């Protein structure tokens, strides 16, 4: 139970709360609000856990009841022989799982470079953590998956995952967290891709004759995505590692990813957004949107369809005149997507920080109305 103490100032008593009882300068109102929100969130954790259990139990009971009603409705009288047909005893959950297509691993890797930890504000690091979580979820649920690596995983970002987000990332499947830089992650990715668990040449890779006819393991190839690159990414290739800059900075450090790649002698490329799309706003994408666009290309082999399926509605993106896509292109997706059970908890944790991020940006001297969704370095000019 929290308590407060009384202090005397000029003969008058002043009540000091535990949030203010600390050494150093007094906390601002925004920081106090943040601490109170964090405290309230932690105090309600067990209650939320119990509510989730109750909701899951009720949902399962409703499913069982609906399945039983459906089986009873599917028992008509057989007028020809005067007998009733045997009821369908198939468990609807088993039928649903049988229809779900198993994800296919492809020999391609995505690396999110998180070496910019010291260049971001706390609210921007929170946004990056949320984007990484969504990237994992999109890759985990995609019909054709990539090998995923999180490089330079340390500092404030790792601390947030281990503490505030309670280490849920340790349960992620198909993701490797590397303390080394993106080049170290690329080496590990190459060894994985050319190994027995590297993946198969299906999906968009089915027509890549060069890799299919190769008799020796291909050499390591790394491409760092940057809007400043002069080269356009026309296709994704097997046994290639694509690096995405994990930086949320509102373009304060524009061109830093390109410079980092050039200093290391690494190839660069930019997504062909300007070749396919007309946008109502700047061509700025969050890290998870870049990952999802490439995952869509692995499934569809068509940049136009991939952009239409992923571009947030607020961007107002439409295909340029003369750009054709195959039949069945998906409608533009919204900003928020459903995620798998393994990452929902982290995204719930992240939902509480949006207001905090605005407060911190305000304290740092930046407009409080600025978006805190976070953007990657993948901005087209």
Burial per residue of 135-151, b for 16 or more beta-carbon CB atoms within 10 angstroms, e otherwise: bbbbbbbbebbbbbbbb
- Position 283 scores a pLDDT of 61
DSSP 150-172: EES--HHHHHHHHTTTTTGGGG-
Q: What tokens appear for 225 in the block? A: 């995505």
CA atoms in the 13 A half-sphere facing the CB of 364? 16
- Position 370 scores a pLDDT of 33
**Mean pLDDT per 10-residue interval, the chain, length 381 residues:** 48 49 72 86 87 90 84 59 52 52 92 95 92 95 96 94 91 95 96 93 81 72 93 94 92 88 95 82 80 95 90 68 53 42 52 44 39 40 33
CA-to-CA dists, residue 300 to 114, 148, 211, 215, 310, angstroms: 29, 20, 19, 27, 13
Query: Which residue has tokens 């020796």?
Result: 216
Residue 314 is classified by DSSP as G
Give the N- to C-terminal CA distance of the chain in Å, as an integer.
Answer: 55
DSSP 100-126: SPPPEEEEEEEEEE-TTGGGS-HHHHH
What residue spans of the chain are helical by DSSP H? 29-43, 45-73, 92-99, 122-141, 155-162, 182-193, 209-213, 256-264, 273-276, 287-300, 303-310, 341-351, 354-363
CA-to-CA dists, residue 366 to 190, 226, 358, 371, 373, angstroms: 42, 25, 9, 11, 15
- Position 124 scores a pLDDT of 92
**Which residues on neighbouring strands pair with residue 176, listed in sequence order?**
149
Q: Look up 249 and say whether it is catalytic.
A: yes
- Position 308 scores a pLDDT of 87
- Position 75 scores a pLDDT of 58
- CA dist 349 and 41 (Å) reads 9
Nearest Cα to 256, choosing from 152, 145, 379? 379
Residue of 113, 117, 138, 249 marked active site: 249
- Position 311 scores a pLDDT of 82
- CA dist 33 and 14 (Å) reads 20
- Position 100 scores a pLDDT of 59
The torsion angle over the Cα atoms of residues 164, 170, 175 and 178, rounded to 10 degrees, is 80
């Amino acid at each position: 139970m929290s308590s407060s103490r009384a202090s005397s100032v000029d003969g008058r008593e002043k009540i000091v709360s535990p949030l203010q009882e600390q050494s150093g300068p007094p906390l601002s109102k925004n920081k106090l609000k943040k601490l109170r929100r964090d405290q309230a969130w932690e105090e309600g954790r067990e209650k939320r856990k119990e509510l989730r259990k109750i909701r899951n139990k009720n949902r399962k009971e409703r499913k069982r009841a609906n399945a039983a009603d459906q089986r009873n409705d599917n028992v008509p009288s057989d007028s020809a022989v005067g007998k009733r047909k045997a009821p369908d005893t198939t468990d609807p959950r088993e039928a649903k799982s049988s229809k779900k297509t198993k994800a296919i691993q492809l020999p391609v890797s995505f690396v999110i470079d998180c070496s910019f930890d010291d260049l971001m504000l706390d609210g921007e690091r929170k946004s990056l953590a949320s984007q990484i979580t969504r990237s994992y979820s999109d890759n985990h649920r995609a019909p054709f998956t990539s090998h995923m690596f999180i490089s330079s995983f340390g500092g404030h970002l790792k601390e947030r995952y281990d503490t505030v987000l309670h280490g849920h990332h340790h349960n992620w499947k198909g993701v490797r967290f590397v303390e080394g830089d993106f080049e170290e992650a690329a080496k590990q990715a190459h060894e994985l891709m050319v190994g027995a668990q590297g993946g198969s040449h299906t999906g968009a890779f089915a027509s890549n004759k060069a890799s299919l006819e190769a008799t020796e393991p291909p050499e390591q190839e790394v491409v760092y995505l940057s809007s400043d690159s002069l080269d356009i990414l026309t296709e994704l290739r097997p046994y290639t590692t694509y690096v995405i800059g994990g930086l949320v900075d509102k373009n304060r450090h524009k061109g830093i990813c390109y410079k980092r790649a050039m200093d290391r002698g690494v190839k660069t490329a930019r997504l062909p957004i300007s070749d396919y799309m007309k946008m109502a706003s700047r061509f700025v994408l969050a890290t998870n949107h870049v990952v999802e666009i490439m995952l869509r290309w692995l499934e569809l082999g068509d940049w136009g369809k991939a952009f239409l399926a992923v571009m947030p509605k607020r961007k107002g993106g439409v295909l340029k005149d003369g750009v054709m896509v195959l039949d069945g292109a998906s409608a533009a997706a919204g900003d928020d997507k459903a995620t798998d059970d393994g990452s929902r908890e982290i995204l719930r944790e992240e939902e509480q920080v949006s207001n905090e991020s605005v407060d911190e940006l305000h304290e740092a001297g930046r407009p409080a109305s600025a978006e805190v969704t976070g953007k990657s370095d993948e901005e087209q000019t």
